[in-house]
């Protein structure tokens, strides 16, 4: 399972790197073309905007995994071990519920935008808005993979052995 998890995280990261590289190449080409030839790509800004949207949603699961989202742990740290575990369980339930709700909302919104097309690329906006349900679905997977470690976080070694 750990091997599958590492592969999943590596694949998620590799996709982010590729999308960011593509965005940087297109924007670099556009800037160079604008200053060297006086012409620019009409669709470059749109590609950059939509790439940034996808990067945000695809990367949010990795940020969740690394604890990079905002968190206030003072109340949690002040609780005894049992209280910490209960609070973490509640947080996990709320996060799973919210992420699932956002997948549902994202799919609904994506389907509503199916007829609209982007201005420069003429791509159906459905594919741009697909970033939201895909990103939240990835967050569900990442959360499911780290949930056991998160739930046990803060326990002493002796406490973990006793809970076995």
Distance between CA 33 and CA 104 in Å, rounded? 42
High-pLDDT (> 70) share of the chain, %: 93
Q: Please name which of 137, 51, 62 lies closest in space to residue 98, comparing C-alpha atoms.
A: 137
Beta bridge partners of 117: 124
23's tokens: 């965005």
Contact present, 87 and 79 (Cβ < 8 Å) = yes
Average pLDDT over residues 128-146: 97
Query: Residue 19 belongs to what domain range?
Result: 2-163
Helix, coil or strand: residue 154? coil
Average pLDDT over residues 97-119: 96
Name residue, tokens 């790439």: 51
Contact present, 123 and 115 (Cβ < 8 Å) = no
On the question of pLDDT at 155 being above 70, the answer is: no
Banded model confidence at residue 71, pLDDT cuts 50, 70, 90 = confident
- How many domains would you assign to the chain? 1
Beta bridge partners of 124: 117
Average pLDDT over residues 28-51: 94
């Amino acid at each position: 399972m750990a091997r599958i998890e590492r592969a999943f995280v590596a694949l998620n990261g590799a996709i982010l790197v590729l999308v960011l590289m593509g965005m940087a190449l297109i924007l670099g080409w556009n800037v160079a073309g604008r200053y060297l030839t006086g012409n620019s790509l009409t669709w470059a800004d749109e590609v950059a905007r939509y790439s940034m949207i996808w990067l945000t949603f695809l990367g949010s699961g990795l940020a969740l995994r690394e604890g990079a989202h905002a968190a206030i742990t003072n109340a949690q740290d002040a609780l005894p071990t049992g209280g910490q575990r209960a609070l973490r369980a509640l947080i996990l339930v709320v996060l799973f519920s919210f992420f699932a709700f956002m997948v549902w909302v994202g799919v609904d919104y994506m389907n509503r935008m199916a007829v609209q097309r982007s201005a420069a690329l003429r791509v159906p906006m459905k594919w741009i808005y697909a970033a939201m349900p895909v990103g939240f679905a990835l967050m569900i997977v990442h959360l499911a993979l780290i949930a056991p470690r998160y739930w046990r976080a803060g326990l002493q070694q002796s406490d973990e052995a006793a809970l076995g």
